[in-house]
Amino acid sequence: MINQVRTRMAPSPTGEMHVGSMATLLKNYAFAKKHGGQFILRIEDTDKVREVTGGVEAIQAIIKRYGLDWDEGPGKGGECGPYIQSERLEIYKREIQKLIDNDKAYYCFCSKERLAEVKEQQIANQQPPHYDRHCRSLSKEEAKRRVASGEEYVIRLKVPSDQEITFTDLLRGEITFNSNLIDDQVLLKSDGYPTYHLAVVIDDYLMKISHIMRGEEWISSTPKHVLLYQAFGWTVPVFAHIPVFLNPDGKGKMSKRKGMVSAASFLDRGYLPEAMLNFFMILGWAKKDQEEVISLDEYIKEFEPSDLSSNSVAFDIKKLNWLNGVYIRKLSSEQLKEKLVPFIPKDFPVDKVAQVLPLIQERLVTLADFEQLTKFFYGAIDYETDLLLKKADSKELVILELKETISLIESFADWELTTLEEKIMSLQEKKDWHRGQFFMMLRIAVTGEKATPPLFDTMIVLGKDLVISRLKEALNRLS
């Protein structure tokens, strides 16, 4: 009987956190919060070869950038610490000694060369590569003598023969493996560091983890973990193995080869953390009322891991872009301005930011779109001259349109939206110029773009002098 829900995420500081890992972290976080439990952050840093400098800090930073946090872990402490595996080596040695003493594990002195020969022979005999248990029958006395003499060793688990290992997965129901398919796995390496399998079981038990939600790639390892729980005499936690994300095209596991997949890269490209979390929520899970725009509080209230689909889902960029747009449009002007700070080019005129935001907020898909949508407000523009003549009856007509528009604008005493719009609309109607042709030509001439925020609002922000200058440049191109 589980009295308290405690979930965890245990990333390795060997690189940037994958978006799939962040989605899994969210599920662990939400489930713990729903049941008034604790979410624990543990750092699995026993792979010192692949560890990157600053990796632990980067993990903590990206979790907080997504607006999430942990109840126990590095920087916060807790009664089950330490929460960094490299600081728990004595704990692993203490616990593995119990397995040795209870004849559940044994010392193995086989050299790498011998293991390679055994593997080569098994492959030649068309047998699955397996440790041949050469050292399993060594007496404890002999093993102790060889250890004391300084001989290099590892410690392996004594896997029982022909035993059915069954565990329940919240997404898939009962899953059964036969122990004959499981190797006498290494638990403690020759460098004194535990393998993942040993450390994860010891840590999850001692940290009182009740529910283990992790990627489905760990299903095949779960029988090894169940055997370890049984060898220690510990209660097995509840498992839920979550499907991986597929590439946006639905083909294959989402990978670095198909684009940027780190959780940080999406925020750096202008996706809002709230939108990203919402996106993670609806991939493979649905709210009871099928609403797709969901707050974190709503998700915490409704999420159940057993409701997750057991099928992998494509990382639908179109859906993510739509959601991000929804969240951008929810922002107040001040909120948007604040979030845009990292995306506003350094040479963008500060005094125009407040004027521009209302014009582009509806058009932003990501915050990074700001530069593309606003570059003509302050930078030089360029375009193909032929665009000025599109749908026009003649070049002479476009030249006339430009001249009369310039003359009209130069006559304005005030640079005001209503006046600008009324006067130019009136000019077009009075001259009976083709509406679509004239206004597209005007848009190209003053912005260099075929699609922009509302034309007259844009012209007001550009300012009278710049508009006239650009119209004259268009005229010079045609003359």
| 3-state SS, residue 360 | helix
Name the amino acid, one letter, at 99.
L
Of residues 405, 374, 367, the one with CA closest to residue 388: 405
H runs (alpha helix) in 191-330: 196-206, 222-232, 263-268, 273-282, 296-302, 317-330
Report the alpha-carbon distance of residue 10 to residue 12 in Å, rounded.
Answer: 7
Q: CA triplet 10, 272, 27: central angle to 5 degrees?
A: 35
Active-site annotation holds for 287: no
Cβ atoms of 320 and 279 within 8 Å: the answer is: yes
Q: Tell me the two tokens of residue 154.
A: 């590892």
CA–CA gap between residue 269 and residue 202 (Å, rounded): 39
Instruction: Report d(CA 472, CA 108) in Å as an integer.
Output: 85
Cα–Cα distance, 313 to 242 (Å, whole number): 11
Distance CA(231)–CA(224), nearest Å, equals 10
Q: What are phi and psi of 238, to 5 degrees?
A: -85, 135
Q: DSSP label at 386?
A: G
List 48, 93, 256, 301, catalytic entry: 256
Rounded to an integer, what distance in angstroms lies between the CA atom of residue 355 and that of residue 82?
A: 52
Are 259 and 14 within 8 A, CB to CB?
A: no
Handedness of CA 135, 136, 138, 141 (dihedral sign): positive
Q: Is 159 exposed, middle or buried (0-12, 13-18, 19+ CB in 10 A)?
A: buried
Structure tokens at 168: 């329940």
Going by C-alpha positions, the residue among 189, 182, 192, 194 that lies closest to residue 230 is 182
Contacts of 55 (CB under 8 A, 6+ apart): 12, 13, 14, 15, 45
What is the DSSP annotation of 135-185?
TTT--HHHHHHHHHTT---EEEE-PPSS-EEEEEETTTEEEEEEGGGS---
Catalytic positions, please? 256
